[in-house]
């Protein structure tokens, strides 16, 4: 993909799942990657296995602490030009509202919403000065359709889509490109790592994600949409791909479907 050749791409959530697949495909396309997740050791393993590992660097950050993460990133990156920011890091949820601690809702918002805002605000001024740049956020179909067991995840993903829409509107005269990616069910470890009501990890897959498309296919479709400078794209198959369209035109039908699932 020529769009990425020679560009510096800052990718969060790069050590597993969709992020890892994106990292591999971006490296093959000639991008220079800044790889971010919590664990430096895991990121270094990823960097070493990518095409042209010398082009890439590791920047470990705890995105559950967005202000601290932004400060550490600013110190590490300095004046480095970021051509594309891909906000991919995130955490999901599997718990009923009545059984979910308020602290879990805060953690979901910190990672899935406030970290996106913090890193976007960090790179935005220089992009606007250069009148060049591309900001991407991997949201979710859950940002369009609310479902059981994902109330906090839904809230964060609905919120981040609103933020991205506002960002697109405010920067449309500055040659900045803003893209929202909405994956449906993807076969990754997202369910295993999902937060339960007390904040612990679920620890096993669920049938929805296990039956989804591969992380590699999700990454391929997502990167194709980013290169085409799409504003918003749904990635997936089956009902999860159709859900936003159904929600728009037949919301009553969607409410009945999600109530029965």
**Tens-place pLDDT, residues 38-93:** 999 999 999 999 999 999 999 999 999 999 999 999 999 999 999 999 999 999 99
Q: Are 94 and 142 in contact (CB under 8 A)?
A: no
Per the structure, the complete domain to which residue 100 belongs is given by: 2-260
Cα–Cα dist 225/235, whole Å? 9
Can you give the pLDDT at residue 245? Answer: 86
Q: Are 190 and 209 in contact (CB under 8 A)?
A: yes
Cα–Cα dist 188/186, whole Å? 6
- Above 70 in pLDDT, residue 255? yes
Can you give the pLDDT at residue 239? Answer: 82
Which residues are known to be catalytic?
Answer: 153
Give me the mean pLDDT over the 191-200 stretch: 88
Can you give the pLDDT at residue 206? Answer: 74
- Above 80 in pLDDT, residue 207? no
Can you give the pLDDT at residue 13? Answer: 97
Confidence of residue 241 (pLDDT cuts 50, 70, 90): confident
Can you give the pLDDT at residue 7? Answer: 98
Contacts of 169 (CB under 8 A, 6+ apart): none
Confidence of residue 214 (pLDDT cuts 50, 70, 90): very high
CATH of the domain at 244: 3.40.50.720
Confidence of residue 208 (pLDDT cuts 50, 70, 90): low
Can you give the pLDDT at residue 1? Answer: 81
Calculate the average pLDDT of the chain: 95
Confidence of residue 260 (pLDDT cuts 50, 70, 90): confident
- Above 80 in pLDDT, residue 101? yes
Q: What crossing angle do the helices spanning 115-130 and 151-170 adopt, rounded to 10°?
A: 10
**Of 31-35, 85-89, 107-111, 234-238, the least confident:** 234-238
Look at the chain and report how many structural domains it folds into: 1
Cα–Cα dist 163/120, whole Å? 10
Can you give the pLDDT at residue 201? Answer: 86
């Amino acid at each position: 993909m020529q769009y990425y050749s020679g560009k510096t791409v800052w990718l969060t959530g790069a050590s597993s799942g969709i992020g890892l697949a994106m990292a591999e495909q971006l490296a093959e396309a000639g991008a220079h990657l800044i790889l971010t997740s919590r664990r430096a050791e895991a990121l270094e393993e990823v960097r070493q296995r990518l095409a042209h590992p010398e082009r890439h660097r590791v920047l470990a950050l705890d995105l559950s602490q967005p202000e601290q993460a932004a400060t550490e990133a600013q110190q590490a990156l300095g004046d480095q030009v970021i051509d594309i920011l891909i906000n991919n890091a995130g955490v999901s949820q599997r718990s009923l509202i009545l059984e979910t601690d308020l602290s879990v809702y805060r953690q979901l918002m910190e990672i899935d919403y406030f970290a996106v805002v913090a890193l976007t605000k960090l790179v935005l001024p220089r992009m606007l000065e250069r009148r060049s740049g591309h900001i991407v956020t991997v949201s979710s179909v859950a940002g369009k359709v609310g479902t059981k067991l994902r109330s906090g995840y839904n809230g964060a993903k609905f919120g981040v889509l609103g933020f991205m829409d506002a960002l697109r509107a405010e920067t449309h005269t500055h040659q900045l490109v803003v893209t929202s990616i909405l994956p449906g069910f993807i076969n990754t470890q997202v369910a295993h790592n999902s937060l339960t009501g007390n904040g612990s990890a679920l620890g096993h897959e669920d049938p929805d994600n296990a039956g989804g498309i591969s992380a590699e296919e999700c990454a391929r479709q997502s990167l194709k949409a980013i290169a085409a400078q799409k504003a918003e794209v749904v990635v997936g198959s089956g009902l999860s791909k159709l859900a936003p369209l159904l929600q728009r035109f037949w919301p009553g039908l969607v409410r009945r479907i999600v109530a029965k699932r």
